[in-house]
Amino acid sequence: MANKQKKIIFIASYPKSGNTGVRILISALLNNTKDKFKFKGLKDINMLSELSYFNKIKNFKLQDNGILDLEFTINNWINAQRIINKNTVDTKFFKTHNVRGLVNGKYFTDETVCAGFIYISRDPRDIAISKAKYTGTSVEESINRMLYNEHITTCPFKVTEFINTWQNHVTSWHSFKKVPRLLLKYEDLLKNTKNILIQLVDFINENSTYTLTINDKFITNILEATEFESLKKMEKIDGFEESSPHSMFFREGKSKQWENILSKNQIDMIQKELEVPMKYFGYI
Q: Write the CB contacts of 194 (distance below 8 Å, at least 6 apart in sequence).
A: 219, 223
The pLDDT tens digits for 135-192 are 889 999 999 999 999 999 999 899 999 999 999 999 999 999 999 999 999 999 989 9
- Cα separation of 246 and 132, whole Å? 9
What is this structure's pTM? 0.88
Domains and CATH numbers, the chain: 8-280 (3.40.50.300)
CB proximity list for 174: less than 8 A, separation 6 or greater: 119, 183
pLDDT tens digit sequence for 46-81: 899 999 999 999 999 999 999 999 999 999 999 999
Give the Cβ contact number of residue 241 at 10 Å: 9
Query: In angstroms, rounded to a whole number, what is the distance separating the alpha carbons of residues 155 and 49?
Result: 8
Q: What is the Cα–Cα distance from 52 to 112, expressed in whole angstroms? A: 21
